[in-house]
């Protein structure tokens, strides 16, 4: 203790003199603390120059220098003194800033002074004792390191995760010759760029606190070491690696010399053993070779066979049983091949005649029969063999079952015939081009252009195309390299055989493969009638769409798939000052809104570049809940109008009757006046909130002083009359305190725009994490997003608080949702006491109830911001059921 052996010296800094004195009175009552006070941070710094303190307590908001700035000054010359921030400010950013700058604890003012100052004293005692304990630990660490420095062995400590060297003893430091603290162990001791594969970290951490002993040769130092590794606790609380290594180089080398002499004596005996082993291995190899030959014959999938000069089967592999359907080789060995396998003996004679002439056949196909006379096809490689005198001894070879292959070949041939029939009888002309030559065409194609097939095949395709269309068709065929790509159908003109008549046809082309090579495959049909129908329909659709867009009072434009403007209505022409004839057919629609070229919403959604919407529209883009593939955004354009304007954009994809995208529509609306009104309201609200927050802070401080003073009066004066007169004062102070806290919550209501929020996530945060374990929680069908005020979580937090405070014996809480009649119904229910029918509506009134009286009032207010409603529909005695109604525009299935 700094000032005396009987108590700790504490410096308390606060600009509220009454609160400062109250703090001093409460803390010194225990007898273990002596408190000095200062009314500002600068006064506190002067006190610290004059006297040594065990701890500092400081307010946050003070004139001149706030609590965090005071903390930074203190930490600049004293890093260890406990520092506790004690303030009425409860903002998260203040807490984070204080702790990040070295505060030991953060305590918020407000509430019961006795409990509050008791907790403050507890924090002070804990912080001081912890600092003292750290000091003792540091002294013990220094003693341990001094012991390590006196050892002759190598001792070092490293971090097992980062491999950073934390300590080496003097003996090792002198051996290394330079400072290695803070460097990497495997770089310094092993000259490596990566951790050692023989590192024992995993071993010692798996068996801690037991040590692990091992030996290691260090090639960098050229030394052998006997090593003991173990895990120890470092002063900062982390587990680290301690290694103690003893140099055993001389003993190791002496042992190696003895081992070398022994190995030289034993080598002669090994050579004799090796020669004997080689003889045994040769014998085994001969045996294995015979077994492998037998295994190949018995296990090959193909059939190996041999017959004698009379055609009798003398040898065959077991695979023949499966192919020919026999149960045992005994059924066929010794039998004549022609009798049991050939359905037609002429086939056998034919084969033997070829063998007599050529000596052998390869891939020779023969029809045979199985045991049950089922026909099969086989392919054989067979040759004649002779006896030792050179005389004909028989034939031998292999057989493979090709029945399935033969069936497939027949099916292919039938498919080709069917395909050829279809091609020749369809109404469209069909042709195939390879290397610019027509290699196939059907009769219809030849008839359309007045030639015969024989006249066309092998000639250049482009000789039959009208000269004005040749280049385009050549480009289409030559610039499409991907297979199985169907090109867009186009109209071309063919030359008739008379070289004068031009025939209009629609050509559909597909790039593919024909006979293993790149080919252009096409069909043609007369185009005149089809073109006329399409043009009439297209003309009518365009006229109707143009009339709708042109007469609309909403400025809007349409772009096609190539981002070219196809519609630019009159309203947009008037608004932008750009007539439609300047932009239609161009991609310069950006001129109406931006000084330089950039994509609009229509461009981004047309290209599917949804991820870029947040980049170009600065996070303001939102997807429509009503129209598929529609997005909207709002932005300020400083270069438009006299002082700049706010525009609200909406973009949507346009699809044809097949659902294919052909373009995009974009509309805009001038919302400058609306935004100016919103900004004015926001600024006024900001100033009112600042005034409210400052006033509330000062009132809460005064309430703390009053409450603390009343508690001291009760402790010092035990008069019953005084206690009686203080009771209404307590009630008044409690009412003031609850109303002040309510204003803090209510001022944040509706201050920010509503946002989409996950219902499941809010339930997780406000119910599941808060509800006691003994209360069972059930949720069903809550996978929705709700569009509501940012304080939506307080709705469910207050409902849970209502259950815990007023529900009585509650064992179960349930939350569920269902869609019905364009509404989402969300139900919160428990099995507690419930609510009497006579007060079901009164519970939502401000001030009603036995606690603050503001919980359910705030619930209804939060929901009403986005037109949601709430009512209680449960039965008294069976539990509450709160029913929330969400309009259809404010809910959707949850989107990740």
pLDDT above 70: percentage of residues in the chain = 84
Contact 47, 34 (CB under 8 A): no
User: Would you state the structure tokens that stand for residue 10, as one six-digit string?
Assistant: 């504490």
* Domain endpoint, select from 495, 526, 557: 526
User: Would you state the structure tokens that stand for residue 101, as one six-digit string?
Assistant: 């700058």
Q: What is the pLDDT of residue 28?
A: 86
Q: Is the per-residue pLDDT at 740 higher than 70? A: no
- 282 within some domain: no
Q: What is the pLDDT of residue 19?
A: 82
Pick the range with the lowest mean pLDDT from 28-32, 109-113, 428-432. 109-113
Residue 384 pLDDT grade (very low, low, confident, very high; cuts 50, 70, 90): very high
Residues belonging to the chain = 896
Q: Is residue 18 domain-shared with residue 125, that is, in the same domain?
A: yes
Q: Is the per-residue pLDDT at 741 higher than 80? A: no
Among the ranges 85-94, 465-474, 874-883, which has the highest mean pLDDT value? 874-883
Residue with tokens 């008069």: 719
* Domain endpoint, select from 747, 774, 792: 747
pLDDT, mean over the chain: 83
- 285 within some domain: no
Residue 383 pLDDT grade (very low, low, confident, very high; cuts 50, 70, 90): very high
Q: Which residues contact 124 (CB under 8 A, 6 or more apart)?
A: 8, 10, 27, 33, 55, 57, 82, 84
Q: What is the pLDDT of residue 827?
A: 97
Q: Is residue 817 domain-shared with residue 737, that is, in the same domain?
A: no
Q: Is the per-residue pLDDT at 66 higher than 50? A: yes
Which residue would you say has higher pLDDT here, 273 or 774?
774
Q: Is the per-residue pLDDT at 723 higher than 50? A: yes
Q: What angle do CA 154, 157, 158 make, to 5 degrees?
A: 130
For 528, other C-beta atoms within 10 Å of its C-beta total 11
CATH of residue 167: 3.30.450.20
Q: What is the pLDDT of residue 671?
A: 86
- 30 within some domain: yes
Q: Is the per-residue pLDDT at 833 higher than 70? A: yes
Residue 380 pLDDT grade (very low, low, confident, very high; cuts 50, 70, 90): very high
Q: Is residue 156 domain-shared with residue 189, that is, in the same domain?
A: yes
Q: Is residue 711 domain-shared with residue 801, that is, in the same domain?
A: no
Residue 528 pLDDT grade (very low, low, confident, very high; cuts 50, 70, 90): low
Phi, psi of 838 (to 5 degrees): -70, -15
Q: Is the per-residue pLDDT at 486 higher than 60? A: no
Q: Is the per-residue pLDDT at 690 higher than 60? A: no
Sheet with 223-233, strands from edge to edge, namely 165-168, 154-158, 239-247, 223-233, 212-218
Which residue would you say has higher pLDDT here, 428 or 762?
762
Contact 755, 787 (CB under 8 A): yes
Q: What is the pLDDT of residue 653?
A: 92
Nearest-CA neighbor of 773 among 831, 815, 814, 812? 812
Q: What is the pLDDT of residue 3?
A: 47
- 825 within some domain: yes
- Taking the C-alpha atoms of residue 733 and residue 197, their distance in angstroms, rounded to an integer, is 70
Contact 645, 628 (CB under 8 A): no
Q: In a 10 Å sphere around its CB, with 0-12 CB exposed, 13-18 middle and 19+ buried, how is residue 874 labelled?
A: buried
Q: Which residues contact 701 (CB under 8 A, 6 or more apart)?
A: 16, 19, 88, 109
Q: Is the per-residue pLDDT at 296 higher than 60? A: no
Q: Is residue 659 domain-shared with residue 728, that is, in the same domain?
A: no
Q: What is the pLDDT of residue 789?
A: 87
Average pLDDT over residues 69-96: 86
Q: What is the pLDDT of residue 766?
A: 87
Average pLDDT over residues 694-720: 70
Q: What is the pLDDT of residue 174?
A: 86
Nearest-CA neighbor of 94 among 110, 111, 109, 106? 106
Radius of gyration of the chain (CA): 48
Q: For residue range 217-265, list pLDDT tens digits in order.
A: 998 888 888 999 999 988 778 999 999 988 888 888 877 777 776 676 5
Q: Is the per-residue pLDDT at 698 higher than 70? A: no
Contact 61, 86 (CB under 8 A): no
- Taking the C-alpha atoms of residue 324 and residue 375, their distance in angstroms, rounded to an integer, is 10
Q: For residue range 122-142, list pLDDT tens digits in order.
A: 888 888 888 888 777 777 777
Q: What is the pLDDT of residue 288?
A: 62
Q: What is the pLDDT of residue 382?
A: 94
Q: Is residue 688 domain-shared with residue 595, that is, in the same domain?
A: no
- 257 within some domain: no
Q: Is residue 703 domain-shared with residue 784, that is, in the same domain?
A: no
For 160, other C-beta atoms within 10 Å of its C-beta total 18
Average pLDDT over residues 755-774: 90
Pick the range with the lowest mean pLDDT from 662-671, 683-692, 784-793. 683-692
Which residue would you say has higher pLDDT here, 163 or 96?
163
Q: Is the per-residue pLDDT at 204 higher than 90? A: yes
Give DSSP secondary structure letters for 168-218. E-HHHHHHH-S--TTSBHHHHHH--SS--TT--HHHHHHSTTS-EEEEEEE
Average pLDDT over residues 158-185: 91
- 280 within some domain: no
Q: Is residue 164 domain-shared with residue 129, that is, in the same domain?
A: no
Pick the range with the lowest mean pLDDT from 406-410, 611-615, 868-872. 406-410
Q: Is the per-residue pLDDT at 108 higher than 90? A: no
Give the count of domains, the chain.
Answer: 7
Q: Is the per-residue pLDDT at 769 higher than 50? A: yes
Pick the range with the lowest mean pLDDT from 329-343, 377-391, 503-517, 758-772. 503-517
* Domain endpoint, select from 214, 247, 280: 247
CATH of residue 101: 3.40.50.2300
pLDDT above 90: percentage of residues in the chain = 33
Q: Is the per-residue pLDDT at 689 higher than 70? A: no
Q: Is the per-residue pLDDT at 334 higher than 80? A: yes
Domain residue limits at 86: 8-139
Contact 218, 189 (CB under 8 A): yes
Q: Is the per-residue pLDDT at 146 higher than 60? A: yes
Average pLDDT over residues 388-395: 91
Residue 41 pLDDT grade (very low, low, confident, very high; cuts 50, 70, 90): very high
Q: What is the pLDDT of residue 739?
A: 61
Q: What angle do CA 773, 778, 784 make, to 5 degrees?
A: 125
Q: Is residue 561 domain-shared with residue 611, that is, in the same domain?
A: yes
Q: What is the pLDDT of residue 260?
A: 73
Give DSSP secondary structure letters for 58-91. E-S--SSS-HHHHHHHHHHH-SSS-EEEEES---
Nearest-CA neighbor of 572 among 585, 591, 556, 590? 556
Q: Is residue 494 domain-shared with residue 381, that is, in the same domain?
A: no
Q: Is residue 553 domain-shared with residue 609, that is, in the same domain?
A: yes
Q: What is the pLDDT of residue 732?
A: 66
Q: Is residue 465 domain-shared with residue 500, that is, in the same domain?
A: yes
Residue 834 pLDDT grade (very low, low, confident, very high; cuts 50, 70, 90): very high
Q: What is the pLDDT of residue 884?
A: 97
Contact 453, 440 (CB under 8 A): no
Average pLDDT over residues 419-423: 74
- Taking the C-alpha atoms of residue 384 and residue 376, their distance in angstroms, rounded to an integer, is 24
- 284 within some domain: no
Q: What is the pLDDT of residue 139?
A: 75
Which residue would you say has higher pLDDT here, 596 or 627?
596
Q: What is the pLDDT of residue 294?
A: 55
Q: Is the per-residue pLDDT at 744 higher than 80? A: no
- 682 within some domain: yes
Average pLDDT over residues 517-526: 83
């Amino acid at each position: 203790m700094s000032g005396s052996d009987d108590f700790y010296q504490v410096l308390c800094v606060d600009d509220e003199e009454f609160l400062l004195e109250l703090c001093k009175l409460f803390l010194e009552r225990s007898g273990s603390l002596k408190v000095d006070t200062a009314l500002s941070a600068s006064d506190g710094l002067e006190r610290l120059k004059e006297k040594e303190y065990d701890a500092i307590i400081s307010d946050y908001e003070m004139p001149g220098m706030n609590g965090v700035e005071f903390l930074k000054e203190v930490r600049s010359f004293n890093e260890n003194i406990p520092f506790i921030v004690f303030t009425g400010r409860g903002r998260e950013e203040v807490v984070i800033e204080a702790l990040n700058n070295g505060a030991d604890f953060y305590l918020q003012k407000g509430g019961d002074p006795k409990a509050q100052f008791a907790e403050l004293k507890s924090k002070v005692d804990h912080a001081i004792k912890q600092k003292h304990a750290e000091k003792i630990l540091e002294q013990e660490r220094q003693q341990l390191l001094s012991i390590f420095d006196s050892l002759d062995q190598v001792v070092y400590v490293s971090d097992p995760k980062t491999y950073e060297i934390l300590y080496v003893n003097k003996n090792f430091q002198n051996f290394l010759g330079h400072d290695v603290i803070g460097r990497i162990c495997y770089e310094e001791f092993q000259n490596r760029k990566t951790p050692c594969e023989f590192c024992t970290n995993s071993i010692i951490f798996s068996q801690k606190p037991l040590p692990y002993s091992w030996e290691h040769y260090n090639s960098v130092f050229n030394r052998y070491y006997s090593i003991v590794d173990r895990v120890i606790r470092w002063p900062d609380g982390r587990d680290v690696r301690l290694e103690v290594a003893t140099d055993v180089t001389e003993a190791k080398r002496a042992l190696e010399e003895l081992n070398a002499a022994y190995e030289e004596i034993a080598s002669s005996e090994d050579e004799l053993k090796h020669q004997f082993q080689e003889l045994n291995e040769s014998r085994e190899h001969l045996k294995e070779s015979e077994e492998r030959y037998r295994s190949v014959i018995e296990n090959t999938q193909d059939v190996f066979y041999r017959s004698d000069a009379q055609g009798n089967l003398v040898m065959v592999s077991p695979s023949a049983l499966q192919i020919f359907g026999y149960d045992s080789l005994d059924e066929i060995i010794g039998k004549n091949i022609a009798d049991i396998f050939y359905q037609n003996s002429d086939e056998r004679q034919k084969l033997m005649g070829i063998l007599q002439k050529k000596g052998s056949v390869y891939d020779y196909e023969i029809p045979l029969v199985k045991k049950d006379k089922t026909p099969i096809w086989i392919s054989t490689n067979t040759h004649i063999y002779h006896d030792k005198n050179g005389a004909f001894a028989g034939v031998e070879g292999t057989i493979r079952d090709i029945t399935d292959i033969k069936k497939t070949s027949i099916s292919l041939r039938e498919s080709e015939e069917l395909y050829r029939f279809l091609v020749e009888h369809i109404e469209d002309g069909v042709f195939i081009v390879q290397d610019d030559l027509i290699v196939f065409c059907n009769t219809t194609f030849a008839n359309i252009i007045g030639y015969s097939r024989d006249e066309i095949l092998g000639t250049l395709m482009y000789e039959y195309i009208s000269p004005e269309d040749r280049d385009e068709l050549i480009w289409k065929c030559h610039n499409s390299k991907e297979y199985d790509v169907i090109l867009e159908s186009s109209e071309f003109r063919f030359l008739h055989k008379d070289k004068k008549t031009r025939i209009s046809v629609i050509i559909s082309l597909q790039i593919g493969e024909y006979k293993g090579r790149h080919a252009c495959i096409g069909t043609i049909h007369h185009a005149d009638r089809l073109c006329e129908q399409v043009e009439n329909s297209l003309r009518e659709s365009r006229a109707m769409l143009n009339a709708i867009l042109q007469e609309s009072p909403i400025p809007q434009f349409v772009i096609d798939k190539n981002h070219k403007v196809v519609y630019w209505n009159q309203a947009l022409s008037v608004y932008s000052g750009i007539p439609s004839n300047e932009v239609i057919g161009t991609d310069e629609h950006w001129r109406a809104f931006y000084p330089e070229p950039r994509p609009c919403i229509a461009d981004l959604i047309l290209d599917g570049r949804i991820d870029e919407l947040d980049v170009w529209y600065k996070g303001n883009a939102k997807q429509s809940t009503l129209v598929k593939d529609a997005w909207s955004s709002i932005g300020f354009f400083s270069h438009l109008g006299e002082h700049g304007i706010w525009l609200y954009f909406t973009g949507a994809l346009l699809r044809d009757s097949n659902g294919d995208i052909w373009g995009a529509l974009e509309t805009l609306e001038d919302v400058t006046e609306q935004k100016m009104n919103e900004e004015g309201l926001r600024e006024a609200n900001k100033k009112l909130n600042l005034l409210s927050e400052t006033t509330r802070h000062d009132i809460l401080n005064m309430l703390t002083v009053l409450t603390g003073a009343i508690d001291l009066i009760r402790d010092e004066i035990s008069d019953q009359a005084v206690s009686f007169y203080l009771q209404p004062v307590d009630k008044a102070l409690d009412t003031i305190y609850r109303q002040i806290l309510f204003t803090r919550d209510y001022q944040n209501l509706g201050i920010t725009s509503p946002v989409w929020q996950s219902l499941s996530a809010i339930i997780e945060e406000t119910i599941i994490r808060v509800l006691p374990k003994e209360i069972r929680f059930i949720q069903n069908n809550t996978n929705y997003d709700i569009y509501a005020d940012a304080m939506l979580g307080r709705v469910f937090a207050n409902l849970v608080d209502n259950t815990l405070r007023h529900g009585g014996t509650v064992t179960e809480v349930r939350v569920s949702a269902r869609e019905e009649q364009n509404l989402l119904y969300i139900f919160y229910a428990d099995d507690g006491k419930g609510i009497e029918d006579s007060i079901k509506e009164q519970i939502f009134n401000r001030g009603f109830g036995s606690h603050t009286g503001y919980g359910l009032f705030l619930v209804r207010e939060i929901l009403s911001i986005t037109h949601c409603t709430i009512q209680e529909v449960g039965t008294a005695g069976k539990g509450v059921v709160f029913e929330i109604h969400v309009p259809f525009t404010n809910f959707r299935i949850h989107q990740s």
